[in-house]
Chain A
Amino acid sequence: MKILKLDDSDLKTLLARWYETRDLFSPVEKNGMAGWKRIEPLEFVEPAKGVPKTSLKTFFFPQPETLLEYSARPGDEGAYVPRPVKEKARERIILGVRPCDARSVLLNSLPFADDPYFKAKKDTTLIVGFTCKQPCSTCFCSWAGGSPMDTEGMDIAMTRVEGGYLADILTKKGEGLVDHLLDNREASPEEKEQLKTLREQAQGGTGSEGGPAEILKKKNLMDLYNAPFWQGLADSCINCGACTFLCPTCYCFDIQDETIKGKGRRIRYWDSCMFPLFTQHASGHNPRSQKVQRVRNRFMHKLKYFPERFGPLSCVGCGRCIRECPVNIDIREVMRDLLSIP
């Protein structure tokens, strides 16, 4: 695929063009903290640094999401027989996505591989990412298997350079967005070299081989499970669940039926393994009734269970959980503690 050099006016023209047939979304700053909003082309501003407060998962795994619909009027033909919902076919482009968030979509695609709802949303969504120049104090993407210059999960990766952007066109869908510019905006060999250098400089983290995922995979499960520090960690946790809701790669959900005025829908919505009811049996028995069991489950799932099943950590190092935790629990410390278990 090609690498293009776009100046600021090229980008403006492109956004206007994309907007004609697609919905545009990007982080919009409000009260000092950015959130994802639907925008008009002229509203787009490249985020200064860091990630928005909420993650990208809301686009692929909305809160809540209707799975099935049913009539709850007993007289209706097919009453109480659930039918599948119709998914929107209109494409959307998410702009200003950081490498960590783009990577989270790929990681979530692993457990949701056979999920038609996730897949339908992924099929109609394009990600135009913007690589990171300046890390925040809570960032640790390199340690989690990514990089500030990572392009995984993006259709186009924009990198700010003197006089505009270097746009790396990564997928067929991404190519479709810029097809009219492919022949007249190709970056020069020097510019391509510049991008390569930027990427190499951004490496040097503990990316894939020898990174935490590989090391933790080799450690004995029960040694990590029985580690001495879980209780101390759980003592300060207040089980608020903020970490799980803000995390781009926490994907636990509940399913409930909701009937309003004769119309019913079966919805799935975000749930959290931090909550005691999450595992409560109908008999009253609860296998994770203790807070320490729930805190341990969250970290073990991200750092040991998920890698054992799928390979990478279920963490992209965006640092939202560190930024928002009311009691300052830091997943980086938990990783260090786990890595130090022989």
Chain B
Amino acid sequence: MKNIDQKNPYLPYPGRIEAITIETEDQSLKSYRIILEKPEDMANWTHVPGQFAMLSLAGKGEIPIGIASSPTEKDHLLFTVNRAGVVTTALHKMDVGARIGVRGPLGNGFPVDKELRGKNIVIIAGGFAFTTLRATLIYMLAHRQDYGNITVIYGARTPGMLLYKEELKSWSQRDDIEMHVTVDREEPGWTGLVGFVPTIAGRVAPSPENAAALICGPPIMIKFTMPPLEEIGWTDDQVYLSLENRMKCGLGVCGHCNVGPVYVCKDGPVFTRDEVQKLPIEF
């Protein structure tokens, strides 16, 4: 008998949930701080912001989730999970200390050490799509001198639906990030911006000069965010999107996530808008 364990891409790293944060007022989103059980697994873990991993619950299955921690946060992994199916519902019922497998990192990530280096960065996010952009932002703040201006436009339906509220507060007190946090409607106690992300993006009007935009959010938000940006000179090759599709293997084999000839799990999830425009709309 031969043992298949060397470099088995289907074998998750055993991990444990170290902390759980309820992110949103409706409790549909929770953040899981996960430690890989073997110290060498944790020490060897490395990823690029924008990559994802499979969270693996034996008996329930696996679910692809964007990695919300930055590679600079070395002693743990963070995943923010929306409750939407079998695995995520089971995960939402789990407590601190529970066992969980992590398979990854998977996919390509944002080119933080390549094309994005030296650029002015505009991060535009809506709803719970902020997770891998949090990872990106933390990474960029840890290498602040490698990037120009950093502008963040982040919106949610209500103040209670914003992720990472404490961090949002601390970022808005820094003078090396321009924060624009917005909610859809006026609400008592909310003193920040009010309006949809595309409207705020149009008002902020970030300059396209030596800049890149990283946009994550519902398709409808992305659709309406593009025209105000294009009006002030942004082009598709400056805009990075992160696609989502149903995934199983995460290795570009099983066929579930293909968009034409590309696999979102292996070739993506990050694509420039330029690349996406050349593909069938199957995401």
Chain A residues packing against B (C-beta within 8 Å): 67-68, 70, 72, 79-89, 111-112, 114-117, 120, 221-222, 225, 251-257, 259, 264, 266, 268, 271, 273, 278-283, 287-288, 293, 297, 300-301, 304-305, 308-309
Contact = CB atoms under 8 A, between A and B. Distances in A.
Contacts of B6: 116
A240 B244 CA distance: 27
A116 B7 contact: yes
B59 A117 contact: no
B14 interface: yes
B37 to A, nearest CB: 9
B225 to A, nearest CB: 19
A266 B245 contact: no
Contacts of A293: 282
Contacts of A288: 282
Given A117-B4, A287-B245, A257 B59 contact: yes
A84 B282 contact: no
Contacts of A116: 4, 6-9
A278 B256 contact: yes
B59 A80 contact: yes
B69 interface: no
Interface stretch (B142-150, B165-173, B203-211, B246-254): B246-254
B261 A221 contact: yes
A114 B252 CA distance: 11
Contacts of B252: 111
B4 A257 contact: no
A86 B245 contact: no
Nearest to B261: A305
Contacts, number: 134
B2 A89 contact: yes
Given A68-B11, A85-B4, A86-B4, A255 B254 contact: yes
Contacts of B260: 221, 225, 300, 305
Contact of A257 (B9, B11, B61): B61
Nearest to A86: B1
Nearest to B283: A287
B261 A82 contact: no
14 contacts: A70-B58, A72-B58, A82-B12, A82-B56, A86-B1, A86-B2, A116-B7, A116-B9, A117-B4, A221-B261, A251-B253, A254-B248, A255-B254, A278-B255
In the complex, the 10 A-B pairs of residues with the closest C-beta atoms, listed nearest first? A252-B255, A282-B84, A305-B261, A282-B85, A86-B1, A70-B58, A80-B58, A287-B282, A84-B5, A84-B4
B255 A273 contact: yes
Interface in B1-56: 1-12, 14, 56
Interface in B143-186: none
B101 interface: yes
A279 B2 contact: no
A340 B179 CA distance: 54
A273 B259 CA distance: 12
Contact of A281 (B4, B56, B58, B246): B246
Given A84-B3, A251-B255, A300-B260, A114 B9 contact: yes
B108 interface: no
Contacts of A257: 58-61
A85 B2 CA distance: 9
Contacts of B57: 80
B144 to A, nearest CB: 35
B2 A266 contact: no
B280 A264 contact: no
B3 A70 contact: no
Contacts of A114: 7, 9, 251
Contacts of A271: 248, 254-256
Contacts of A287: 245, 259, 281-283
Contacts of B246: 278-281
B99 A81 contact: yes
Given A271-B248, A309-B261, 19 more contacts: A72-B59, A80-B99, A81-B14, A82-B11, A84-B3, A84-B5, A84-B8, A87-B4, A111-B252, A117-B4, A251-B255, A252-B254, A252-B256, A257-B60, A257-B61, A279-B246, A281-B246, A287-B245, A300-B260
A300 B244 CA distance: 21
A254 B85 CA distance: 16
